[in-house]
A and B are shown apart, each in its own frame.
Chain A
């Protein structure tokens, strides 16, 4: 069987000895999977991501990324396998021009100028930033800055992609652009693990949802099964995912996409 894109085997981590944050976490993300990680604020989701890409080392257990042990692999090796979109774009961006920022990872990976330029041009096109290549990253608005961090991930071109609250800064058109990229990345066979508090977004994209609570994964299932939990949202009839909930309330076939809903609703009206 092919190796998982990401695997945690009995992983524990603590910022201090008294308060372990993660205890005995085991999980696997396969190529082609798009998995959401949800949980309360402070549950350790972002810490788990930093472990997954090797920025932190586990206190015990093993983390595998594309056949590498993150505790032993060197950063350049890991950077060819896994890309992380930080929760705060400002903590990720380190260059003073948009195009230079996007070319940062390919440059460190040692690609020639032609390849770097091709990757940067493609990434800026996909993210709608082609006319902002010469701008200073901090002159971009929050949504564009988030797009810039996505462009950097696209240029890095890894099999495993970690997205920490990727949609928070987007407006409606930017979210549409981002979701189009996400669907294309899945079709390319990439493995995606993402954190999001937008539970409808989770339901639209996650083939599986992991709920992190009290230091361990307490649920692993479909969005409809996992998201209905008082840790995550108020337990009301229209709790997210709201489109299936609306279908149930209107006695329509359950669906998770708006095109299907419109068809059902049209038929319902006769």
Chain B
């Protein structure tokens, strides 16, 4: 059974004349990685907040169609109960800091403490989450003193420590150096093999395609495509960023300098092989 199910789902924010999101039909199953990509202002963050249960508590809006978690409508769920299952890392990592912790370890412990877990369990979870995010050496730091990349690691650790069924990452790697982003994404992908579902909201195609089996392309709040990364490649790159090797492939395909049947590369590593497939057939 799908963990998340959306059918013809729409959302109109209070006071808005037009729907912010419309025509959403997709599902997310346990262990799946889905990427939602689109340009600025296309509704990615709104969708992330909706899936995190913000409507109507933190986002006042009218919704229609079906948008369920385990067949129960997302809108109107208790945020506290939903937080045990769904965690959202917001685009600004500082937005996720509680403001009431004196060090990073206490910040990451905030969620499990509110679940009333035993202290030993909390300590074990916090240590594991910080280690996974390469943030163990930050545990004694004041949260307000963290750099952008450090705060992003802590925000992800604070979500993982809740051991969610569904982890929503809204451009959560944007402040990380590429080497760190690659390592962290690989570790999160490993967690999906244990059943965690992962949704990446991204403006960076390479990152989305590296982890996701399917990509949902949003344009002006509407679901335009839901398909494999290769199938959405050409259209997605009109809207989102990609490394130069992928841009070169998109331009070659547009200019007719590509061979039918050869798939586009999904990351820089596979680009040479794809170009050589075009060259040699």
By a beta-carbon cutoff of 8 Å, the part of chain A in contact with chain B is 15, 39-42, 46, 87-88, 90, 141-144, 165, 167-175, 197-200, 203-204, 230-234, 236-238, 240-243, 245-246, 249-250, 258, 261-262, 265-266, 268-269
A170 touches B148 (CB 8 A): no
B177 touches A172 (CB 8 A): no
Interface size on B, residues (CB 8 A): 49
Contact partners of A175 in chain B: CB under 8 A: 241
CA–CA, A141 and B181, complex, Å: 24
B279 touches A172 (CB 8 A): no
If A170-B40, A246-B272 touch, whether A41 touches B241 (CB-CB below 8 Å) is: no
By a beta-carbon cutoff of 8 Å, the part of chain B in contact with chain A is 38-41, 45, 91-92, 94, 145, 147-150, 152-153, 171, 174-182, 203, 237-245, 247-248, 251-252, 255, 257, 268-269, 271-272, 275-276, 278-279
A141 touches B148 (CB 8 A): no
A143 touches B40 (CB 8 A): yes
CA–CA, A15 and B147, complex, Å: 13
- CB B144 to nearest CB in A, in angstroms, measures 12
Most B CB within 10 A of own CB, among A39, A172, A203: A172
A230 touches B179 (CB 8 A): yes
If A173-B39, A197-B176, A238-B268 touch, whether A142 touches B145 (CB-CB below 8 Å) is: no
Which of B45, B251, B276 is close to A262, meaning CB atoms less than 8 Å apart?
Answer: B251
A269 touches B40 (CB 8 A): no
Which of B178, B238, B275 is close to A250, meaning CB atoms less than 8 Å apart?
Answer: B275
The chain B residue sitting closest to A256, CB to CB, is: B244
CA–CA, A88 and B248, complex, Å: 31
Q: A242-B244, A246-B268, A258-B248 are known contacts; what are 17 more A-B pairs with Cβ within 8 Å?
A: A88-B148, A168-B174, A170-B40, A171-B38, A171-B39, A172-B242, A199-B178, A204-B244, A231-B179, A236-B269, A237-B272, A238-B268, A242-B243, A243-B245, A249-B271, A258-B251, A265-B275
Contact partners of B255 in chain A: CB under 8 A: 262, 266
B237 touches A172 (CB 8 A): yes
Contact partners of A168 in chain B: CB under 8 A: 174-175
Which of A41, A90, A236, A258 is close to B244, meaning CB atoms less than 8 Å apart?
Answer: A258
Most A CB within 10 A of own CB, among B38, B40, B171, B203: B40
A171 touches B240 (CB 8 A): yes
Contact partners of A143 in chain B: CB under 8 A: 39-41
CA–CA, A144 and B39, complex, Å: 11
Which of A172, A174, A200, A241 is close to B238, meaning CB atoms less than 8 Å apart?
Answer: A172
CA–CA, A262 and B255, complex, Å: 9
CA–CA, A111 and B38, complex, Å: 40
